[in-house]
């Protein structure tokens, strides 16, 4: 009897631990996500990563390709190195530029965008007709499918207004032909070329074909070039995602 009691207690502990270990997008519907959870989905999740450039406050981080945020020192360093985005932020930068990449074709990201609108519009307090109109628009947005392409949106931010203006000018002038030799989606052994491009409201949209052979443990790396903006020099940017972490119901959501 004692052995059985211990076994049941141990099983209960395991189940409780597993429940608390689940991510919020697994545990509950997106309609129940908090403002903080929605923000996390859009900025620091398996489907969204940020990478930053700035004047280094910690010189020891320079050149560390495992760092979450790229730290760039002053001086001519055109194409000098590759900088990776990862799972957490480190270092402070002023002035700085941040690129936040999202798998916009992935359902969790689109659910977070819808939830943002719900929170902004106070969805729970809407009248029946207004709520129905909102739900119809929401359903249309979420039902979109992307069988042959992947959409990656990259939002550009800076704490220096002059940098913001320069970035808008640069990215507004880009096109698929101009970016064809510098912008790729590396998926396992495949190097996918850009097939679509757009820029609006500080957000870049990169469109790539879906990979043909995708393994269960692959890494996706978005590769593009940050232009020289005053003292922040041109750099090759690499933002990585992992298919295993992107799984929803056993399949990577992309």
What is the C-alpha to C-alpha distance for residues 214 and 195, in angstroms, rounded to an integer?
19
pTM, two decimals, is: 0.75
SS3 146: coil
> Which residue would you say has higher pLDDT here, 252 or 76?
252
Task: Kindly state the helix (H) or strand (E) to which residue 6 belongs, with its residue range.
Answer: helix 2-21
SS3 140: helix
Residue 81: per-residue pLDDT: 37
- Cβ neighbours for 183, distance < 8 A, ≥ 6 positions apart: 194, 206, 223, 224, 225
- For 63, phi then psi, to 5°, come to 80, 0
What is the C-alpha to C-alpha distance for residues 248 and 20, in angstroms, rounded to an integer?
18
Positive or negative CA dihedral for 57, 60, 62, 65? negative
pLDDT tens, 172-229?
A: 999 999 999 999 999 888 899 999 999 999 999 999 999 887 666 788 899 999 999 8
């Amino acid at each position: 009897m004692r052995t059985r009691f211990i076994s049941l207690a141990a099983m209960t502990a395991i189940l409780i631990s597993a429940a608390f270990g689940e991510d919020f997008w697994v545990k509950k519907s997106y309609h129940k996500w908090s403002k903080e959870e929605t923000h996390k989905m859009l900025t620091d999740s398996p489907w969204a990563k940020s990478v930053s450039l700035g004047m280094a406050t910690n010189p020891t981080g320079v050149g560390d390709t495992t760092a979450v945020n790229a730290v760039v020192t002053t001086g001519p360093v055109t194409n000098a190195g590759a900088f990776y985005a990862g799972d957490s932020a480190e270092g402070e930068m002023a002035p700085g530029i941040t690129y936040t990449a999202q798998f916009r074709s992935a359902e969790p990201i689109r659910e977070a965008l819808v939830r943002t609108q719900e929170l902004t519009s106070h969805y729970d307090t809407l009248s029946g007709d207004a709520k129905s109109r909102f739900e119809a628009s929401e359903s249309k947005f979420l039902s979109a499918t992307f069988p042959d392409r992947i959409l990656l949106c990259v939002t550009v931010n800076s704490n220096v207004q002059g940098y913001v203006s320069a970035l808008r000018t640069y990215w507004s002038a880009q096109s698929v032909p101009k970016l064809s030799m510098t912008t790729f989606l590396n998926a396992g052994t495949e190097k996918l070329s850009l097939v679509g491009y757009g820029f609006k409201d500080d957000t870049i949209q990169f469109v790539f074909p879906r990979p043909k052979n995708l393994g269960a443990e692959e890494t996706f790396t978005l590769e593009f070039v940050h232009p020289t903006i005053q003292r922040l020099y041109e750099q090759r940017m690499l933002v990585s995602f992992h298919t295993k972490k992107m799984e929803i119901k056993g399949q990577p959501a992309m």
